[in-house]
A and B are shown apart, each in its own frame.
Chain A
Amino acid sequence: MVLSVTEKSYLRDSLKNKDHFLRPDGRNYDQFRPVEIYTDFLPSSNGSSRILASDGTEIVISIKTEVVDHSLTKDLVSIDLDITGYRDDSAYVTSIRSILSKTMKSKLNFTKEKGPKEKSVLQLTKKYSFKLYIDILVLSNYSYPLSLISFAIYSALETTKLPMLISSEDDLEIEELPIFHDYDMITLDFQSPLIFLVAFIEDNVFIDPSDAETQVANKCLILTWFENKISSPIRTVSLNDDYTDGFTLLHLKESIEVVRKCAPEVLRALKYQ
């Protein structure tokens, strides 16, 4: 919904005032809109989730796997993003996809054990690894979906089950083709990063901006939360053309502060079971 100049001005005024900070839906600066998440509903996928935001944004995620020789395939994750109403090659879609890919790739290649026994969470044997295919379908989209997508990926990965290897893991010298158990699966032991969007107007910062809020916000900061701390990438994104002020160190500090405060709560809420 595009706001009129008057509406924008009113909204901005109510959001920029430090003392009378008022969000249009009455939320606190560190409060999220309610979301509903359904997981593991696609039987033929390894993991899946569906997230519904209160503004009507709906995202479906399916995770599938393939076994690859990791000496030949460097990328162990492939992200496919489709947003209803946008062309696949539009800047909107490509920018979100690139943020997601970068985040996921850097985190998934992360090794559990450092040193000589270095091993990615996706590594299966000395020769083979799983490759994850994350298919994201944004069915309806009423606010910038990046944060919700990261939540959905988190939930989907949380329930992702990978086939269980029953052959030996050491196949470097004497090659073996991986053989899997015909039924049993193991849960992927990986907590994917959460991405938070923090908007700011003048000195105020507030998390999870709605569509209307992003239309009047100066800029939004994208912050990543991984392994219980703020992590890269941290970026800014402009979601309107009217207000293009930069951000100050204070903004960044406060944004980090608010994410630090919310993230554990969000994680707890997203936790399966």
Chain B
Amino acid sequence: MSDNNTTSTATALVDRHSNNRRKRLSAGLTVTSKVFIRSRNGEPMKIVREHYLRNDLPCNSQKCDKNCKDLYAINNSSPILSSEPDKLLNGAPHYVILDANIILHAIDLLENPICFHDVIIPQTALEEVRNRSYPVYTRLRSLVGNDGSSTTEDESKRLIVYHNEFSEITYVERLDTDRESINDRNDRAIRKLCSYYAKHLETTGIKIVFVTNDKDNKLKAIKNDGIQAVTLAEYIELLPNADEIRDLVPQLESPAASTSKDDIIQEEFTYPEYYSTSRILGGLQNGTLYRGNIQISEFNFLEGSISLPNFKKPVLIVGAKNLNRSFNSDQVVVELLPKSQWKAPSSMALDSEHFDVGDNPDLDDVGGNENDEEMIITDKERRLLVQDAIQQQNSNKLFPTARVVSITRRSWRQYVGQLVPSSIDKQNPNGVQNCFVLLMDTSLPKIRIKTRRALQLLNKRIVVGVDSWPSNYKYPLGHFIRELGEVESAQAETEALLLEHDVEYRPFSKKVLDCLPPEGHDWKAPVNLQDPEALRKDPLLSKRVDLRDKLICSIDPPGCVDIDDALHAKQLNNGNWEVGVHIADVTHFVKPNTALDMEGASRGTSVYLVDKRIDMLPMLLGTDLCSLKPYVDRFAFSVIWELDQETADIVDVKFMKSVIKSREAFSYENAQLRIDDPQQQDDLTLGMRALLKLSKKLKKKRLDAGALNLASPEVKVHMDSETSDPNEVEIKKMLDTNSLVEEFMLLANISVARKIYEAFPQTAMLRRHAAPPSTNFELLNEMLQIRKKMSISLESSKALADSLDRCVDQNDPYFNTLVRIMSTRCMMAAQYFPSGQYSYDDFRHYGLAVDIYTHFTSPIRRYCDVVAHRQLAGAIGYEPLDLTHRDKRKMEIICKNINKKHRNAQFAGRASIEYYVGQIMRDNHSIETGYVIKVLNNGIVVIVPKFGVEGLIRLENLTDDLSTSEFVEDQYKLSFKNKNSGEMRDVYVFDKLEVEVKSILDPITNKRKAQLLLR
């Protein structure tokens, strides 16, 4: 038995297969695979994807002398990068390639027409931008002209995306050696693209400049690849017009030229570092950390609150360190603080404008250093703490507090503000200096910017962007974007408030306008619905009902040009009334998934300012083709009921697309006059009288069911017709005819809501209004109880309505309205939602006291109505419903957006009124009656019904001797020594006061606002 050859046959053949080898599939197409690990909920997933590479991607340069020109024919495109690009200072024509960090921080600069023409965006950078910041990505996308639909206005920019990840030439594989990180690999991919372009265009004389702020990447580009690589600041210096641009360069986290002085000072104040992602995820999962959107108090910018699912009331976050660099409405993760740090919400008013105004932007440190003892608290103890906190919320004394440990999503956008004059060094007019920008939104901190034009920008409204907030800076770093104009000039103020409320006010793009009917204003509804010529153009025409014989009229506010709705009524043979509501058929012109539709969906609503209207849809549709103007044929979507003549109950309802001809367009006053005029006995007037009668019955039924009659201090500003200067404020009046239209619109909305819910139970576009949680009314009820021995009942909307009716002060007729105004603020906001999101019981509209509701009647100015129109058209079989409106997830996205836009539009409208009211009061200050609605530790909040303004009267303005003041929280009382008489005076909530109203310009914010002073 020999054993000398044992090993030879036991040898195993081991063959190693490499995953990263490219395989050619056909000419011009190779496949490789990408492997990566995705961590999700602590679970690593190995993902392998096939990745295809091609060799037919053109360079997009007009001057290219290689064979790229043959490649455009395939896509029917043409090269975009100019053959005569901008020259650098040294005279070299150049294209720019951008790194992702430049796009992320300098998107404003990219959008600016004065620089960055002929730019190549590597796909790698584009993808990184998309992952890091979606808003920046969409802005970049709209700049890029090579998606096949380049528009004229973008042509001067000539931005292209080179899909280097899909190109055989420029694709790079991740290296197994040296543990190359994905960032390093991406940097290498971008550098490879740079070398490719440099080589490819070598013969044309066009230089490639690679702009990156990543030191390492820049160094490697220069050293290893021989590319001209510069930082953004260096690049700007290379341009002939550097002087214009220099100020617009954003500040980045570690400014290369950070002076040693900066470094030393900033050590004194540091925010706590954020937790690691793994800790956040672990904590969220085991219930020791919570995620939510932070709400900074409008009265105190150092106090925030966050609504968390397990807690009945919002959890407080108090102090700069605990807020830990969060901005209002950021999505943050919080951790509860130990019990010893729980506190009552402050009853102080504190805003950033009056806080630390003397701060020197060069000396960015903070005074109040709390001894932060870092204790280790285990998760077990934290969970007990959560239990305690939830219990604690039942009492009123102490509130659980929390601190921000991470910011998941920043709400950063562009902000409007103005320079803080005291932060400017006037001795140094032309040098670069750090200054503070105070934002219009007082719940946000000051922004530190670097500019050399500080003096020119003083007293101007400026737009700034926020770049970063390192933990060792007390205030966030930002950069100047552009100026809007002088403070208080109507144009600058209007633009500022549109920007502040995120209202898209730029003119409609060409892409959008291209979707309009080519006939323009000459568009006419076909005379004969069976006309073969017209039918050929619009096969659905035959499904339209001809209602041109009905006596239809519209009733709107005077001067209304976008007429959404019209009405008619006719008595039937059985005595019942046929009532029709006809709504502009916007969806005939706005087809789903067109650029026009997308624009409408993104704008969500028209915005009405005092002097301006920002349309959701282009003028041509809103004021002409869709508008139900009198005397012309218009397409409409009609709801026709048979209503019982006695009870106004619905006997029957029909929905149809129609063509109508309005006989008259009335204003509310004119309609009222015509109805009241006994001389008028024509059919149209008779119909209107019937409508009025029916509407009163409908209203009564609605109020009986518990619909609320709430109030808000709405005022209207009259403008001088010549100078369009505001000259008078008026409280809006309600006529019978207002409520006539309103009742039938409500009825139409309800009928349509039922119909579309029946047809699309999961995705019907509905609107709900939740019952207010009792906690919202707690404070108001307590104030009423203590001061007036009254209370508001919350059992049902009916009970609420009745109890509101009982809140009457015999001596003061306005008191009831005041309570209604304050109740309105305790209500929940109504919201749009797809029906699948809630159960039927939760569809209820609390304010209107109906079980189901939608918006259908104003498609010209609300996007919800557009969707409702399409769904109704689908429900009655007029045309199939687009998939977007049948997909629950997509509907949720639409609803989320229009809810937000709707709210913003309301705020913008109010801000506009506030501004004009301020302008009117500018010259005439007067003594008015005001009511105390809130008593704070250091002031009182007073509302003046005549102007619909409210304001804080600070303690300093109430008394000269601050030490005499006494705040009795449970009595809602503030006592102080009166400034004028020197006697002690008590002010309680609900007190009626004489206040001096004048408009003042705040010296720090440059914001004009109503200054109230107690008489």
Contact = CB atoms under 8 A, between A and B. Distances in A.
A187 interface: no
Interface in A256-273: 261-262, 265-266, 268-270, 272-273
Interface in B1-30: 1-3, 5-7, 9-17, 19
Interface stretch (B36-44, B491-499, B570-578, B960-968): B36-44
B46 A46 contact: yes
Task: Point out which of A51, A166, A167, A176 has the most chain B C-beta atoms below 10 A from its C-beta.
Answer: A176
B37 A167 contact: no
A46 B35 CA distance: 11
B611 to A, nearest CB: 53
A79 B35 CA distance: 25
B14 A31 contact: no
A41 interface: yes
Nearest to B33: A43
Interface in B465-495: none
A38 interface: yes
A42 to B, nearest CB: 9
Contact of A177 (B6, B13, B14, B42): B42
Contacts of A39: 14-16
B735 interface: no
A249 B17 CA distance: 46
Contacts of B726: none
A41 B17 contact: yes
A31 B19 contact: no
Contact of B12 (A37, A171, A174, A261): A37
B27 to A, nearest CB: 26
A179 B281 contact: yes
Contacts of A175: 279, 282-283, 285-286, 288, 379
Interface in A196-213: none
Contacts of A241: none
B46 A30 contact: no
A31 B7 CA distance: 8
Contact of A28 (B5, B182, B278): B5
Given A173-B378, A179-B278, A262-B10, A185 B285 contact: no
B376 interface: yes
B352 to A, nearest CB: 34
Contacts of B11: 34, 269
B278 to A, nearest CB: 3
B916 to A, nearest CB: 53
Nearest to B15: A38
Nearest to B44: A163
A27 B2 CA distance: 10
A9 interface: no
Contacts of B1: 21, 28-29
B279 A176 contact: yes
Contacts of A128: 42
Nearest to A164: B37
A31 B13 CA distance: 17
Contacts of A38: 13-15, 17
Contacts of A176: 276, 278-279, 281-283
Contacts of A27: 9
Q: Which of A36, A174, A273 has the most CB of B within 10 A?
A: A174
Contact of A180 (B44, B283, B379): B44
A212 B363 CA distance: 90
Contacts of B15: 38-39
B48 interface: yes
B159 to A, nearest CB: 29
A261 B2 CA distance: 13
B276 A168 contact: yes
A45 B41 CA distance: 20
B179 interface: yes
B39 A178 contact: yes
Given A28-B2, A40-B17, A266 B10 contact: yes
Given A168-B276, A179-B278, A182-B36, A265 B376 contact: no
A253 interface: no
B174 interface: yes
Contacts of B38: 182
Contacts of B182: 182-183
Interface in A16-66: 21, 27-41, 43-46, 51, 65-66
Contacts, number: 147
A184 B179 contact: yes
Given A167-B277, A174-B279, A66 B12 contact: no
B48 A43 contact: yes
A168 B15 CA distance: 36
Nearest to A33: B9
A265 B11 CA distance: 8
A29 B14 CA distance: 25
Interface size class of A (residues with CB under 8 A): 35 or more
Given A174-B279, A175-B282, A30 B16 contact: no
Contacts of B44: 65, 67, 163, 178, 180
Contact of B37 (A40, A41, A181, A270): A181
A272 B9 contact: no
A35 B43 contact: no
Contacts of B376: 173-174
A56 B15 CA distance: 19
A34 B42 CA distance: 43
Contacts of B3: 28, 30-31, 261
* Interface core residue of A51, A167, A177 (most chain B CB under 10 Å): A177
Nearest to B379: A175
Interface in B357-402: 376, 378-380
A123 interface: no
A15 to B, nearest CB: 13
Contacts of A270: 12, 14
Interface in B33-86: 33, 35-39, 41-44, 46-48
Contact of B7 (A183, A265, A272): A265
A195 to B, nearest CB: 15
Contacts of B276: 167-168, 176, 179
A175 B13 CA distance: 46
A41 B14 CA distance: 11
Contacts of A184: 179
A255 interface: no
A16 to B, nearest CB: 14
Contacts of A183: 35-37, 174, 180-182
A175 B278 CA distance: 9
Contact of B10 (A31, A44, A180): A31
A265 B7 CA distance: 6
Contacts of A168: 276, 278-279
Nearest to B286: A175
B282 A177 contact: yes
A218 interface: no
B39 A179 contact: yes
Nearest to A49: B14
B6 A28 contact: yes
A155 interface: yes
Nearest to B7: A265
Contact of B6 (A21, A30, A35): A30
B922 to A, nearest CB: 58
A111 to B, nearest CB: 23
- Please provide the 5 A-B residue pairs with the shortest distance between their CB atoms, ordered closest to farther: A167-B278, A177-B281, A163-B44, A176-B282, A177-B42
12 contacts: A30-B3, A32-B6, A36-B12, A41-B17, A43-B48, A65-B44, A166-B278, A174-B379, A177-B281, A182-B182, A185-B37, A265-B7
Interface of B: 1-3, 5-7, 9-17, 19, 33, 35-39, 41-44, 46-48, 174, 179-182, 276-279, 281-283, 285-286, 288, 376, 378-380
Given A175-B279, A183-B35, A269-B7, 17 more contacts: A27-B9, A28-B6, A29-B1, A36-B12, A36-B13, A37-B14, A39-B14, A155-B12, A155-B14, A176-B279, A177-B281, A177-B282, A182-B182, A183-B174, A262-B6, A262-B10, A266-B10
